[in-house]
Amino acid sequence: MKTNTIAKLAAAAMAVMMTVSAGAVPVLADSNSTSSSSASQAEAKKQQAMKTALTAVKKRVKIPDRLTEFDYSMSTSYGTEMFSFTWRDEKNREIIEITYANGIILSYNYYDGRNDGKEEVKQSFAKLTDAQLIDYAKKTFKMLDPDLADKGKYSIDSIDLFGDNASVKLDRMENGVAVEGNGATIVINKNTGDLVSMWVEWFWNGTKFGSTASKLTADEARAKYKSLTTLTPIYRTVSEYNEKTEKVGQKAVLLYLPSFTDEIDAVTGKPSTIWDDMDNDKGIRNFSSYYYNSMADGGVESTDGAAYDDAADEGVDFNAAELKEIEADEGMLKKDEITALLNKDKYTKMPDYVSLDYANLYKNEDTGEYFYSISYHGGDDGIVDYGVDADFDDTDDVDMAVEDVGVDVNEDPQKPYFYMNVNVNAKTGKVDNFSKSRDTSFDSSKEYPVKANAKIAAAAAKHFYGDIFGEYKADERNSEPCHFYTDRNGKKIYTESSRTYYYNRYVNGVQVEGDTIRINVDFSGEVCSISYKYTDVKFPSVPKFDKDKAFEQLFKQIKLKYYYDGYYKKDGTAKTYLLYDINDYTLDSKYRVVEWDGTPLPAERDDNTDYTDISGIAQENAIKTLARYGITLETKNGKFDPNAKLTDKEFATVIYKATRNYVPYYVEDGNYQKEEKAVTLTKKEAAKVFVDVYGGSDYAELKGIYRAPFKDVVVSDDYVGYIAIAKALGFAGADKNGNYSPNKVLTRAQAMQMIYDYIKRLK
């Protein structure tokens, strides 16, 4: 085997093997197992496996004799041997790459660099029809993977306007049902049908899929979702722009959130156990998810810093002179007065050796109030109190651990570390939030006192936020059992040194999302941090909820998905499930599916190009052909509305798709950002839009340099430059009398014909 494989090819092969190599049914192998076979026997076995795979590939794919260089690599994933074969010519101008595993060609890629840079790529329509493209793709795929080719539906995915490729998609079907995430993409030359590339994702191959004979109907599945789901009202605070004041404010919207949007078993209607089963079986959905999940270990949620509020980051900093004037003129508390007030409060009292680090005065722009953000610090940062640690079995180990951090336990104890940051109302001295850290002892052999500290947290919340605390209720998380794990000796090791207690706000019996009081209490009962959010907005009333009507409306707006899914078990076998599924959704108070902030969903783009109102019109072929390349105007209800007028800005979106070789600053993804008001499209406006999007408007505006491009366009016309350039680029053409008819208003159909004619004229 050659060892001089190009780095780019090796990387590409590895990427393919890690993402599309799931076609084979895996059999787990023990990576640590040993064999009595000699190294030479193992190498011979490996070589034989390669020859077998290479033989299978070459029986299906003709490799040109001119590709004289050959490399291969082999890897094993979940016990399955996978091969990546590469053929190329001596100068790497032509390359064929193929990956193969267990009877399936997983990917094919052909690269032809012999004409790179020699020809300018221009817009062109395919010489083959859609039916011919699908036929070529199916025959090609049958050659590559004969056992898979008849197990799905073929459709045109895309055709390159700027290039020679057409992409045909195969969606895998079993028992007439789509198999989630399974299928193939075959890329062929749009003019010849020659194969360019192919890749497959075909999981759980050879597995029997459950019968659909006794499945629930769609109506029965919808009834099951209704019975399983609770729609819970919430108030969500969102930003709102006030056009009169030109300021962004806040408002509350009433929304309904579903408790259940997971998969259900398509036969029983019960919540599917697919993901719990996969977890219990230590399975993987496919090879690519294995590689991903192996690097995605979960972590433990931290409560550190939960008490920090955003207020300090939202405000305005003042310099020393400004602070002096503000303090003198507005009667605000001095910093030492703030410190004295804090030391009178049992929750914020500090050791006598603590001093002020810094103080920042800022204004809350929402309320107009001034606040101090003050930081205090004292003690020795180097002192570490380890408490009782289960990993230390004797005193010597503890001494060593302390010595490692540079602390001599035999020296006189120094002042323990203390830090606190507080946000305080600069006029009233009321504490808005604080967070402190200090040396504490934590005995991991003892359970965190959940109930006792819950009382402490509630008292602190009432102490600091008594004016609003009546609107808040304790969260269910507050009473969760103390977290622990069991060590190798069977001893419980408790991991909670502190807990954050949550209290959620309710208005009209509805929870206000995000309006929460947080109180963190450490093991010893010390309140370490407090914070809150209270949104001062008007809340809409809560209408009487009608579940029947809500779900009736819901299912008119959202469709159920019906499909097979599955995973590989640890022993290499596969398990599949027949499922119904529903997308996550949010309803407003009128049971309309809306965005997260309650705004209407964007109008669904109608991708149906089987227009019902263009049959027999002169522009029918132009409209249908352009639609194959994604060049379409916005349509509704399957109608193109060919005789309707359109604006210059609407026309710009399709011109962008048809040219795309230059994008001036005012065109972004086809969004025409010209400041001028949209106007009805005439032929001269069409020429202007074309030149604008093409990037030639600066030249078109030059005066006195253009000849009359058509009989009916005079040199004094403001649009003469645009029309002349559009003609030179092949966009603007004359009628049989040599006229352009610049003031003629274009219909939607006529505008599309202009684009079609432009592309056809390109050579």
Tens digits of residue pLDDT in 32-42: 444 455 567 76
**Phi, psi angles (nearest 5°) of residue 717:** -65, 135
* pLDDT of 667 strictly over 90: no
* pLDDT of 277 strictly over 60: yes
Whole-number pLDDT of residue 282 = 87
Amino acid at 262: D
* Each residue's pLDDT tens digit, 395-436: 333 333 333 333 343 444 578 999 999 999 998 999 999 999
Averaged pLDDT, 74-92: 81
Q: What is the DSSP string of 395-445?
A: HHHHHHHHHHTT--TTSPP-PPPEEEEEEEETTT--EEEEEEEE----BTT
* pLDDT of 216 strictly over 80: yes
| Domain edges within the chain | 7-201, 218-292+542-588, 311-532, 620-761
Please list, in sequence order, all residues whose beta carbon lies within 8 angstroms of the beta carbon of residue 120, skipping any fewer than 6 positions away. none
Least confident of 234-248, 617-631, 656-670: 656-670
Q: 492 near 484, Cβ under 8 Å?
A: yes
* Each residue's pLDDT tens digit, 104-154: 999 999 998 876 655 667 889 999 999 999 999 999 999 999 999 999 999
**Phi, psi angles (nearest 5°) of residue 609:** -110, 15
Q: Is 50 helix (H, G, I), strand (E, B) or coil?
A: helix
Whole-number pLDDT of residue 208 = 86
Averaged pLDDT, 296-321: 38
Whole-number pLDDT of residue 306 = 34
Whole-number pLDDT of residue 761 = 87
Whole-number pLDDT of residue 362 = 84
* Each residue's pLDDT tens digit, 741-750: 999 999 999 9
Whole-number pLDDT of residue 705 = 92
Report strand pairing: 152-159 vs 104-112. Answer: unpaired
Please list, in sequence order, all residues whose beta carbon lies within 8 angstroms of the beta carbon of residue 562, skipping any fewer than 6 positions away. 177, 178, 218, 221, 266, 579, 580
Report strand pairing: 80-88 vs 94-101. Answer: antiparallel
Handedness of CA 458, 461, 466, 471 (dihedral sign): negative
Q: Give the mean pLDDT of the chain.
A: 82
CA atoms within 13 A on the CB side of 735: 10
Q: 638 near 620, Cβ under 8 Å?
A: no
CA 298 to chain centre: 19
**What does the alpha-carbon distance between residue 442 and residue 534 come to, in Å, rounded to a whole number?**
33
**What does the alpha-carbon distance between residue 126 and residue 163 come to, in Å, rounded to a whole number?**
10
Share of the chain above pLDDT 70, in %: 80
DSSP-derived secondary structure letter, 586: -
Beta strands in 466-604 (DSSP E): 472-474, 484-486, 492-494, 498-507, 510-522, 527-532, 561-568, 574-581, 587-588
Q: Is 270 helix (H, G, I), strand (E, B) or coil?
A: coil
Whole-number pLDDT of residue 609 = 77
Whole-number pLDDT of residue 381 = 65
* Each residue's pLDDT tens digit, 173-212: 999 999 999 999 999 999 999 999 999 998 887 788 999 9
* pLDDT of 331 strictly over 50: yes
- Shortest CA distance to 201 belongs to which of 79, 407, 20? 20
Q: 134 near 153, Cβ under 8 Å?
A: no
* pLDDT of 160 strictly over 60: yes
Q: What Rg, from alpha-carbon coordinates, does the chain have?
A: 35
